[in-house]
Amino acid sequence: MTGARDHGGDLAAAITRFGGPPADWIDLSTGINRVPFPVPPVSAEAWRALPGRAALDRLTAAARAACGTGWPVLPLAGAQAAIQLLPLLAPVGPVRIVAPTYNEYAGVLAGAGRVVEPAGDLAGLAGAGLAVVVNPNNPDGRRWAPGDLRALAGRVGLLVVDESFADPHPELSLLPGACPGNVIVLRSFGKFYGLAGLRLGFALGAGDLIARMAAAAGPWAVSGPAIEIGAEALADFDWRAASIARLTAETARADALAAAAGWTCLGGTALFRLFDTPDAGAAQHRLARARIWSRIFPYSRRWLRLGLPGNPGEWSRLADALGA
């Protein structure tokens, strides 16, 4: 069942296990930007009326501009909403996913009766009816060049490229180029803009694929407040540039703190880092004693993932917890 799959952000589980009120905790278990876009006032109309075509058009135009693309766009309630629709689109043939990665892909597709085969790299996806690549990958930050992904598209039935963590890494995105007929790109809004609770994301791809997803999603797939806030945030290129610069600089700071604690950085993105530790469970417990929550993985005894702190106080607490 979907509810049984583990994810970051389960702060309630941390509190149950280690105690303390929520306000005492710093949740670094996700890759969500802890310096969010400042939420503007939301109009009364956005709250009380069904979302209209003009508002949706403004949002999709802002999304295209932010991604530098002319591809057809479908706003949805997060990239997760698009993942739920994939079983309706997947052609016959094997389902292959570059793994390990975000576990909802395998869970949703297996739950729909598809046999899912993990692949170690792009070459292992060739011949799949449906191929999934997260670029950059979660949790290890592996990344693939757009040209290699375009070449792969010619060797699979349908290629899904999840760019949920690509905002700080625009050079990785497929979206500025031509739109292949068998590729769907997923983009998250909540991670980079730090507003995951808004539940907003986008599917981009060829018109027929997007039309099928739109029909399955139904009308009003995104709330009025999400449309209004998302359109304003996506149009703020100054905030975007400043956030990319800050996050990029702060990855080195996180890596240095971890190295001083004896951990090795295995990779990551400008929104999270993955570390090799002697014992991930013990490392998580060490941080939890300082009320800092992190992410560990059932398939590795050594891997621990950390998001980036959001202010000087959070950085100081992380440094103290790691003994730096």
- CATH number of the domain bearing residue 27: 3.90.1150.10
Same structural domain, 171 and 243: no
Same structural domain, 146 and 191: yes
pLDDT score for 156? 97
Tokens of 151: 């070449």
Same structural domain, 86 and 191: yes
pLDDT score for 183? 98
Same structural domain, 191 and 271: no
- CATH number of the domain bearing residue 220: 3.40.640.10
pLDDT score for 2? 37
- Neighbour count for residue 119 (Cβ, 10 Å): 18
Query: Can you give the residue range of the structural domain that contains 272?
Result: 11-36+238-322
Instruction: Give the separation between CA 124 and CA 126, rounded to whole angstroms.
Output: 6
Rg (CA), the chain: 20
User: Minimal CA–CA distance to 183: which of 167, 166, 201, 203?
Assistant: 203
Secondary structure of residue 216 in the 3-state scheme: helix
Query: 230: Cβ–Cβ under 8 A, 6 or more apart, which residues?
Result: 59, 62, 63, 75, 189, 198, 200, 222
Enumerate residue ranges in the chain where pLDDT < 50. Answer: 1-3
Instruction: Give the residue from 235, 264, 286 where a domain finishes.
Output: 235
pLDDT score for 4? 58
- Neighbour count for residue 51 (Cβ, 10 Å): 21
Q: Is residue 3 part of a domain?
A: no
Backbone angles phi, psi at 238, to 5 degrees: -65, -45
pTM: 0.96
Same structural domain, 247 and 143: no
Q: Is residue 4 part of a domain?
A: no
Tally of structural domains, the chain: 2
> H or E element: which one contains 1?
none
Same structural domain, 290 and 205: no
Instruction: Give the separation between CA 308 and CA 34, rounded to whole angstroms.
Output: 7
Same structural domain, 223 and 289: no
Q: Is residue 6 part of a domain?
A: no
